[in-house]
Chain A
Amino acid sequence: MTHSAVSRGRDNMTASLTPLLTVEGLNIALPPGADRPLAVEGAEFTLYPGRTLCIVGESGSGKSTIADAVIGLLPRPHLRPAAGRILFEGRDLLTLPETAMRRLRGAEIGMVFQEPMAALNPLMKIGAQLEEVLEIHLDLPASERRTRALAALNDVGLPRVEEICDSYPSRLSGGQRQRVVIACAMMLEPKLLICDEPTTALDVTTQAQILALIADLQKRRGTGVLFITHDFGVVSEIADDVIVMRQGLIEEAGPAAQVLRNPASAYTRQLIDAIPTGTAQQRPDPGGAPLLEIEGLRRVYSLPGKLFRAPRQVEALKGISLSLAAGQTIGIVGESGSGKSTLGRLVVGLEKPDGGSLRVKGRPLVAHRFDGRVQMIFQDPFASLNPKISIGETIAIGPITKGVPRAQAWARTEELLELVGLRAEAARRYPHEFSGGQRQRVGIARALAMDPELIVADEPVSALDVSVQAQVLDLFESLQKRLNFAMLFITHDLRVAARMCDQLAVMQRGEIVETGPSHEVLRAPRHTYTRTLLAAIPQLFSQTEREFN
């Protein structure tokens, strides 16, 4: 059904074209001893020139493996194709000799990767890395190569191309590097561009720019794009056709509009429903004395230089003021470098402010003196638990340090584990036995064990798959209702913030540019930056459609 569903959804104009890429019955084998025998099983799809096919799935679904297989860069011998065909303009890439494959790569098939920071050789100038594509595939004089490298950089919208050409990658930002990688991939105008989560590591506004760039290049050149992502928002922005993968199998396939609006599979429906809609409900104002009061908070760092920037002192926080009532959640929203994480570290006392004041329940909060009344929940569920210490001890040690008798602390630990949806016997086990979502629950239990008045949650769900993300957000909500702690919720994701927070504070370059009740900020943003952020969020459906629903 998968193949035909894709074909049926295509309009008449493209149906007359010959397929650019056809994958038939592709099986890719995992090494023996893995959790399943095949990384990808029976994959089937067709991509036509000028179209964009998105492969969507959560981590471990096998989506990136397909991308690697098409360009012939599977990490062999761990992963190897076991059955099927990959037809590129009629030729089976799986049987093509390596030399012929090399001629295709970079010339006919280009690829863009997830980690722009690691995708460029740190010891080669940008220009040399671009020219390398020409050296490999064409025989051009040096001056011509340089001209074309500059043109390619221009094409991807980079400023001061001469300067960038002569720079090393370390002096470029993540977004700039991703543009360079795209320039490399598009240099020889390939017929097929494979994008493997190219915007996942980028800020939302940068993501919007990169997606627009890819769409623009595609339109100008008629490239076929195979786009791998975990984000349905991105899918709705760019996809013509969609394939949803789960555990190596194709769960559903079809035209983007159809899959997004009327998913045939329950799994797809579940994934789409798990995405926060980005609308906030009006919530009652509790009133009362503020629990957390921040006034004129400042923090200054010294930073080494970057391209177009001399080394300098950076004001990470330029006088932040806000207040938060007991039992309420304030969302701190911003992109990387906005100072939102610095604010979080100051509020818990891990860093000392360079000015301003911090009060919890009227008492000033002293940096580096930890009395336990403010706790933190961290982003990376793997780094936030000590691999050498049992779950139970990790949680119980806090109260024990505070003077709670050992037996009582352990009893409370087991109680808390059940409260966060784990079993009491988890206390005796070690972090490596748990999944990311489960670890995040342990982190929450650890924070709650201290009976905090305030919890700072620093991107607590951004490292989790979208379905797990929804469960953890639910947990936060129910716990807050029961235990009535206040929460400073730091996130880059306005959709998550909209769902969780009573108040929002939008941060940009160390300042709060807009603050107010969530539903007001989202419905009628006053500051241009808030509007930019809102516009950059990949939307599942258009605004009108959502309101209609």
Chain B
Amino acid sequence: MTRPNLLHKMFSRADVWLATLVLLVIVALAVAAPLIYPKGPWAMGGRPFLGPAGDLRFPLGTDTNGRNILAGLIWGGRVSLVIGLVSTAVAVSIGVLIGAVAGYAGGRVDAALMRFTEIFQVVPGFALALVLVAVLQPSAGSIVLAIGVVSWPPVTRLVRAEFLSLRSRDFVYAAQLQGQSSLRIMFRQILPNVASPIIVMGSLMVATAILLESSLSFLGLGDPNRMSWGFMVGASRTVLRQAWWMATFPGLAIAVTVLALNVLGEALNDALGSQSGKR
């Protein structure tokens, strides 16, 4: 199947259109945040505990310090998206490298790398991320590192399994008999055949990374200089009785973003899956 066909197949579904639209809006708002709310998310502009739709300047209400919830949402989106993308890139890079080597080399190298991976896989990921960020002190860097470190094992397993099975495919033997180098076979012959599942997994991992970041922020381990959705929900925890909107809207923002990413990831999976099924 050719590329236009793939897109056509994906966008024949209404939910994919909706998800794309939602994501585009979120990205646009996040990019335009300094234009929409130039004073930033921390500016205390209004009366504290103002409910939604009470004041047109604060359509989603204000928090305990009179900060605009909507401004927080728009600025917070920047953090979620950037950390989600960067930490996924980190995790995919680690995962592909280790998985490719393990799967292609096989034998003892594979066994050793997989034992190593299993350790990371069996450790509760969230707890590890939390400990890492807590000890290294919360910052965008430590959060990306922590999410990257806990997210790579599934990529490794996927890539390793694919490499392991593709390695004994006849076309790889043929390439060996032609005298091609191992490095070339790994990256030129095998990797393109694994690209689709990696892309699908990566798109779903961005969603998981956003969830992880928000959970860390919820527990007060977010980057203290940047407003984030998780932090906003965390701040509302103790005033839930007085201000339901403080918890509801940022959580909704996370849920909608993650949902949209999942819909897209799965549509991609279906489209690419049927493509590879055709051989």
Q: B203 to chain A: closest CB distance in Å?
A: 20
CA distance A372 to B193 in the complex (A): 25
- B179 in the interface (beta carbon within 8 A): yes
Kindly specify which of B90-98, B109-117, B168-176, B212-220 makes contact with the partner chain.
Answer: B168-176
Residues of B within 8 A of A401 (CB): 178-180
Q: B176 to chain A: closest CB distance in Å?
A: 6
Q: A492 to chain B: closest CB distance in Å?
A: 17
The answer on a CB contact under 8 Å between B177 and A348 is: yes
- B241 in the interface (beta carbon within 8 A): no
The answer on a CB contact under 8 Å between B192 and A388 is: yes
Please judge, given known A-B contacts A389-B189, A432-B278, A432-B279, whether A384 and B179 are in contact too, CB under 8 Å. no
Residues of B within 8 A of A267 (CB): none
Q: A440 to chain B: closest CB distance in Å?
A: 11
CB under 8 Å from chain A, chain B span 129-153 = none
Interface size class of A (residues with CB under 8 A): 20 to 34
Residues of B within 8 A of A66 (CB): none
Residues of A within 8 A of B278 (CB): 432
The answer on a CB contact under 8 Å between A372 and B177 is: yes
The answer on a CB contact under 8 Å between A443 and B189 is: no
The answer on a CB contact under 8 Å between A398 and B169 is: no
Q: B17 to chain A: closest CB distance in Å?
A: 23
Please judge, given known A-B contacts A386-B189, A387-B279, A388-B193, whether A378 and B179 are in contact too, CB under 8 Å. no
CA distance A11 to B148 in the complex (A): 78
The one of A385, A398, A402 in contact with B171, judged by C-beta atoms closer than 8 angstroms, is A385
> Chain B residue with minimal CB distance to A458?
B170
Q: B187 to chain A: closest CB distance in Å?
A: 12
CB under 8 Å from chain B, chain A span 365-395 = 370-372, 374-376, 378-380, 382-389, 394
Q: B108 to chain A: closest CB distance in Å?
A: 15
Residues of B within 8 A of A349 (CB): 177
The answer on a CB contact under 8 Å between B170 and A384 is: yes
Residues of B within 8 A of A376 (CB): 173-174, 177
Please judge, given known A-B contacts A383-B170, A388-B192, A389-B189, whether A372 and B178 are in contact too, CB under 8 Å. yes
Question: Taking each of B173, B176, B188, B279, which has the highest tally of chain A beta carbons within 10 Å of its own beta carbon?
Answer: B173
The interface residues of chain A, by DSSP majority, are classed as: loop
- A450 in the interface (beta carbon within 8 A): yes
> Chain B residue with minimal CB distance to A348?
B177
Residues of A within 8 A of B189 (CB): 386, 389
Q: What mask results when residues 326 to 362 of chain A are scored 1 for a CB within 8 Å of chain B, else 0?
A: 0000000000000000000000111000000000000
The answer on a CB contact under 8 Å between B178 and A384 is: no
The answer on a CB contact under 8 Å between B178 and A350 is: no
The answer on a CB contact under 8 Å between B279 and A378 is: no
Residues of A within 8 A of B193 (CB): 386-388
Please judge, given known A-B contacts A389-B189, A432-B278, whether A372 and B170 are in contact too, CB under 8 Å. no
- A177 in the interface (beta carbon within 8 A): no
Residues of B within 8 A of A370 (CB): 176-179
CA distance A432 to B171 in the complex (A): 14
Residues of A within 8 A of B169 (CB): 383-384
The answer on a CB contact under 8 Å between A398 and B179 is: yes
CA distance A382 to B176 in the complex (A): 18
The answer on a CB contact under 8 Å between B170 and A397 is: no
Q: B111 to chain A: closest CB distance in Å?
A: 15
> Chain A residue with minimal CB distance to B196?
A388
Q: What mask results when residues 387 to 425 of chain A are scored 1 for a CB within 8 Å of chain B, else 0?
A: 111000010011001100000000000000000000000
Q: B2 to chain A: closest CB distance in Å?
A: 10
Residues of A within 8 A of B188 (CB): 389
> Chain B residue with minimal CB distance to A403?
B179
Q: What mask results when residues 247 to 279 of chain B are scored 1 for a CB within 8 Å of chain A, else 0?
A: 000000000000000000000000000000011
CA distance A364 to B138 in the complex (A): 62
Please judge, given known A-B contacts A382-B279, A386-B189, A388-B193, whether A446 and B179 are in contact too, CB under 8 Å. no
Q: A335 to chain B: closest CB distance in Å?
A: 21
The answer on a CB contact under 8 Å between A446 and B174 is: yes
CA distance A440 to B138 in the complex (A): 59
A–B pairs, 26, beta carbons within 8 Å: A349-B177, A370-B179, A372-B177, A376-B173, A376-B177, A378-B174, A382-B279, A383-B171, A384-B169, A384-B171, A384-B174, A386-B175, A387-B279, A388-B192, A389-B188, A389-B189, A394-B171, A394-B174, A397-B180, A401-B178, A401-B179, A402-B179, A432-B278, A432-B279, A443-B174, A450-B178
| A residues neighboring B (CB under 8 Å) | 348-350, 370-372, 374-376, 378-380, 382-389, 394, 397-398, 401-402, 431-432, 443, 446, 450
State the 5 A-B residue pairs at the shortest beta-carbon distance, nearest first: A398-B178, A384-B170, A378-B170, A388-B192, A386-B171
| B residues neighboring A (CB under 8 Å) | 169-171, 173-180, 188-189, 192-193, 278-279
